[in-house]
Chains A and B, each alone.
Chain A
Amino acid sequence: MVENSKAVASCGEALVKLLEAYGVDTVFGIPGVHTLELYRGLPSSNVRHVLTRHEQGAGFMADGYARVSGKPGVAFVITGPGLTNISTAIGQAYSDSIPMLVISSVNETNTLGKGWGRLHETKNQRAITEPLTAFSATAYRAEDIPDLIARAFAVFNSERPRPVHLEIPMDVLASPVAYDWSNELRIARSRPQAEPKLISAAADLLKASKRPVIIAGGGALDAAESLLAIAEKLTAPVFTTVAGKGIVSPQHELHGGANLCMSPAWDYLEQADLVLAIGTELADTDMWRDTLPIKGDIIRIDIDARKLNDLYPAKIGILADAMGAAHQLNQAIDSLETKPSVVADVANLKNGILQEQAELQQKHLAVLACVKNHLPAEGFIATDMTQISYTGNYGFESEGTRSWLHPTGFGTLGYGLPAGIGAKIAAPERAGLVLAGDGGFLYTLQELATAVEEIHTPFVVLLWNNDSLGQIRDDMIAMDIPTVGVSPVNPNYTMLAKAFSCQTYKPQSLDELESCLEEAFKYMGVSFIEMHDSSVDIAQ
């Protein structure tokens, strides 16, 4: 808690104090003439400001920060272009249920909607973020702010987390506060608990099931312990979505991995008589097919009521926080006799997946194996929309949760580098690696400037260069469409990284990659490794 030594003057100053009181320690942003009053209170607070090079970067950094810390990422942006620049990142956070608080200015209250052509003016700024957020609101008076911030944190703590946008007109931002609300915490941290009757019904179904399967998504990250206990009691394999990677240790015999996009997993699911899906949308972006071939009953546990019958009708739908519900469910189930055949099936399934990899994916896996060898314990990987990440989504086995950051739903290019920077700022003690393609990296490469300015512990950018927008080129070829616009003339990436004062490497083989990674993870700063796909020889 902060102490109010001196009376706060303006709404902007009070807001910074209030955020600090809510536990905000970092904001990402770019100042402008419209947001000066937001910045006035920063120097006298303990809130760190991270200057980004584009507001899109600020948004992705806030996202990466949130994914690694579980706390909302916060961004300050200017009216108009600042807000539209960050909108893509807001959309990404919305798709992936990431808590994020975007605070922007907007033009003076009396000018709103008039179309006078004020600097940075939009028709209705809030309408832009309305479809991208849990809610977006305008503070028409300074005294609205404690309410609105409380509401935002209610979303972050007690609902399906999603971004919130708060816009503050410049006149309101500069106005004096009528009373000091800078310490007015209203924390709602109650999450919905499962109805006991439903838990025992679910437990009965699970106990009666011969071949149950658990599917855990990003909503179940904090339920890992109970889920594992349930899985062990039932001998049920656990598959995760990409956002759920790490919920079960890859060494565990019931770890089915994030393999829901692979046909051996589909075959397995088809034989399951019961699926427990927890904290997952079961969206097609994780399956690479419209719906999974689930033949058995489904129990769904979700904090979002609208997900309980979505795409797949649930036999039992439990509206609850995943952690609490998993705990209750675990208590309602006794250990059953273990089923060794299931363990063998899981091993076969994973093996089968490895066997069926095409040459391109084998290349990816070879590179990812090098990464795995050198990524320090607790390290995280932030990924972009590149083919090697798609392979890694299932093929890279994360040791823990909050360690594989991927823009799954919205699928935004340029996510990897800034998300990695944000994650690193949330957890400087963890080593970080960014995995980006030659196309996606260019989207946000200017954030290398932010990286070298802010990061002084091991942070490695691994560029996967195939000199093409590979996925789209392959799609075009598959659909008999001329390959227009997918074979870019690329820059000399290594030289670019040098211009940003990064330590650079250009390995010519997998062996060289190993030694580059080893060195890079020792370097106290930003390293850049360009791996060209032609340098990966899997015949070796």
Chain B
Amino acid sequence: MATCGEILVKLMEAYGIECAFGIPGTHTIELYRGLPQTNIRHVTPRHEQGAGFMADGYARLTGKPAACMTVSGPGALNIATAMGQALQDSVPMLVISADNNTFEKGLGEGRLHETRNLQAAMAECSVWSHTLARADELPKVMARAFAIFNSERPGPVHISMPLNVTTSNADHVPMDLWAIPSRPAAAPAQLQQAADLLNESQRPVIALGGGAADAAEWVRALAEKLDAPVSLTHNAKGILPVDHSLHVDTSPSYQPVRDLYLDADVVLGIGTEFSESDYDFFFNGEFALGGKLIRIDIDATQLTRNVRPDIAIRADAQLATEALLPLINESRRNGSQRTAQVKELLAPLNHPGYQAFLDAFQVALPGAAVIGDSTQPAYFGAAQYHAPAPRRFASAATGYGTLGYALPAAFGAKLAKPDLPVISLIGDGGLQFTINELSTAIEAKISVAVVVWNNERYEMIAQNFVDAGMEPIACDIYTPNFLKIAEGYGCPAHRAESIEHLIELLRQAQKVDVPTIIEVREQDFIQA
């Protein structure tokens, strides 16, 4: 007999899931029965939060979901934060959590891991959350999950598996996959309207978000035809090559970029939320547009948020830009000069110390993916770090803004692209949230350079306290000896003394099949 748990992992494999992260427990062991018969690689994290962040890192680099498998109750809630981050950043992720037997749910009898209504909590962190009632629902449920991953604005999907359903007989369940729905293309009439507006414009600007990450080729061509400067959010980094003459290489929150938007007669926003964490990084509420706005987004409701569009096109970024391209007349609009002007104004705003530090990454390891946490250099990186290609930078300093992301997410990224160098950039405070995952990486032989920005405090929050007219409280924390901790886990660990030394250590880290901790003391790199 095949159980529902066994066919679940078969279906996961059939849908192309390559990696599953999970800590087995009494309520999930039935999911493990069939796992060795699949090609899915199982990685055991040390906390379910790590599972979620790893799946996130995996998906950021590939655009494909990985799976997480958790026990009910605490296991499921442990992964909630990682799902929250994925939801805010539109990252696909399949979360399977166990639940108590269907016939015990909601009775409040105090069963192991019991939650009054687990799905209600998980639904808040998912695009879609579903409790499986019968084994024969599973193919439809999986079809819907993958419809969300492939054909909608992606995000985490949660499937709750009651124990009695997981162990039930599934011999009768048909295993044919359902066809994956197509992505929405743009309505031709709207595209023409957009093209007309753009063709007539004098000073167009393009604002790209993470939704455009897989449309790089087409948006680049579009930008060049329009001769329009292009701004990038965190999740859009790398869509334009670093030295492209139309690349506004900073965060959209900086005044010169805001002036660019104000001065533009048409802004074309593609796959971007226009949200606070990218467009109002300093929380002063002063983001504004001067001209018309065309928005392209796969999510209809997103087109109604934050900034009012004159033309709202609900479509996949790539399909829409590809279709828009032939409608655009090539014309010179001083794009490069306008971009250069912004850069000139930006230059004095850039911090030279952080610039030198951030530049070291690509100098040491060209093409590397960088995964950042809420730490000083990652905040500066929002403006001053430039990714070599799309899907080569991710940071949890925005959106859900959770600490401890960058270590496990970098491990997931490396699992997704084993041949690519991966750098984790994390502060001493953030690292303490998820440092336990070093064990996972050692076990799974994951080589990542972990750059720990150590100022022995929550620098960001200390600054916030000062700005709010208070003495910092609970910011100057006891900080353990990270080099010794690394040694305890079995990782090589070094302190970088200089930029040159950092570059050398980053390269050296590629030679081992475990993480390397590279401690960077803030005072050694940044003049007070």
Binding site for B on A (CB under 8 A): 29-33, 36-37, 39-40, 42-43, 49, 51, 53-54, 56, 80-81, 84-85, 87-88, 91-92, 94-95, 114-125, 127-132, 281, 283-285, 306, 310-311, 409-414, 439, 442-446, 448-449, 452-453, 469, 471-472, 475-476, 479, 481-482, 484-486, 488-496, 498-501
Contacts and interface: CB of A to CB of B under 8 A. Distances in A.
Contacts of A500: 480, 485
Given A442-B47, A442-B436, A449-B478, A117 B306 contact: yes
A499 B480 contact: yes
Contacts of A501: 480-481
A410 B81 CA distance: 18
17 contacts: A29-B474, A33-B461, A39-B470, A53-B432, A88-B74, A117-B306, A122-B124, A127-B123, A281-B109, A284-B112, A310-B108, A409-B114, A449-B478, A476-B29, A479-B30, A485-B22, A499-B481
Interface string B434-462: 01101100110000000000000010110
Contacts of A116: 273, 275-276, 305-306
B110 A453 contact: no
A410 B73 contact: yes
Contacts of B113: 410-411
A222 to B, nearest CB: 20
Nearest to A472: B24
B381 interface: no
Contacts of B42: 484-485
B276 A119 contact: yes
B84 A88 contact: no
Given A115-B301, A284-B111, A85 B24 contact: no
A306 B108 contact: yes
Given A31-B461, A131-B121, 19 more contacts: A36-B464, A36-B468, A49-B473, A81-B401, A84-B81, A87-B77, A116-B275, A116-B306, A122-B125, A285-B111, A445-B435, A449-B479, A452-B478, A479-B29, A485-B44, A486-B44, A492-B488, A493-B488, A499-B485
Contacts of B137: none
Contact of B400 (A37, A81, A453, A482): A81
Contact of B484 (A283, A411, A482, A498): A498
Nearest to B458: A31
Nearest to A241: B110
Interface in B241-287: 273, 275-277
Contacts of A29: 474
B460 A80 contact: no
B125 A81 contact: no
Contacts of B133: none
Contacts, number: 267
A300 to B, nearest CB: 14
B276 A117 contact: yes
B207 interface: no
B12 interface: no
Interface size of B as a range: 35 or more
Contacts of B108: 306, 310
Given A128-B121, A411-B112, A449-B477, A485 B276 contact: no
Contact of A485 (B23, B471, B478): B23
Contact of B120 (A130, A311, A448): A130
A453 B124 contact: no
B110 A285 contact: yes
Contact of B36 (A30, A87, A88, A482): A482
B102 interface: no
A472 B401 contact: no
A491 B480 contact: no
A479 B29 CA distance: 9
Nearest to A117: B275
B379 to A, nearest CB: 12
Interface string B53-75: 00000000000000000000110
A94 B118 CA distance: 13
B473 A489 contact: no
A85 B74 contact: no
B401 A80 contact: yes
Interface string B28-49: 0110110110000010101101
B387 to A, nearest CB: 21
Contacts of A471: 26
B97 to A, nearest CB: 12
A493 B436 CA distance: 11
Given A80-B402, A413-B74, A43 B305 contact: no
B116 interface: yes
A468 to B, nearest CB: 11
A53 B475 CA distance: 11
A490 B439 contact: yes
B484 A499 contact: yes
A29 B87 CA distance: 25
A443 B47 contact: yes
A132 B115 contact: yes
Contact of A489 (B117, B301, B439, B487): B439
B80 to A, nearest CB: 4
A31 B80 contact: no
Given A117-B276, A491-B439, A492-B490, A84 B84 contact: yes
Nearest to A88: B77
Given A131-B121, A485-B23, A40 B77 contact: no
Contacts of B301: 115
Nearest to B396: A81
Contact of A449 (B114, B404, B432): B432
Nearest to B83: A84
A492 B35 CA distance: 30
Q: Which 10 A-B pairs have the closest CB atoms?
A: A117-B275, A283-B110, A81-B402, A495-B488, A499-B484, A412-B74, A496-B488, A489-B443, A485-B44, A453-B478
Interface in B122-146: 123-125
A469 B22 CA distance: 13
Contact of B273 (A30, A117, A444): A117
B80 A84 contact: yes
Given A36-B468, A443-B47, A472 B29 contact: yes
B121 A127 contact: yes
A496 B112 contact: no
Contacts of B465: 31, 36, 39
A51 B462 CA distance: 14
Contacts of B30: 479, 481
B32 A484 contact: yes
Given A485-B32, A489-B439, A499-B484, A31 B475 contact: yes
B395 interface: no
A442 B439 contact: yes
A36 B276 contact: no
Contacts of A128: 80, 121, 124-125
A498 to B, nearest CB: 6
B168 interface: no
Nearest to A441: B436
Contacts of A412: 73-74
A449 B114 CA distance: 31
B78 interface: yes
B109 A311 contact: yes
B77 A81 contact: no
B525 interface: no
A426 to B, nearest CB: 19
Contacts of A84: 77, 80-81, 84, 125
B250 to A, nearest CB: 19
B489 interface: yes
B46 A131 contact: no
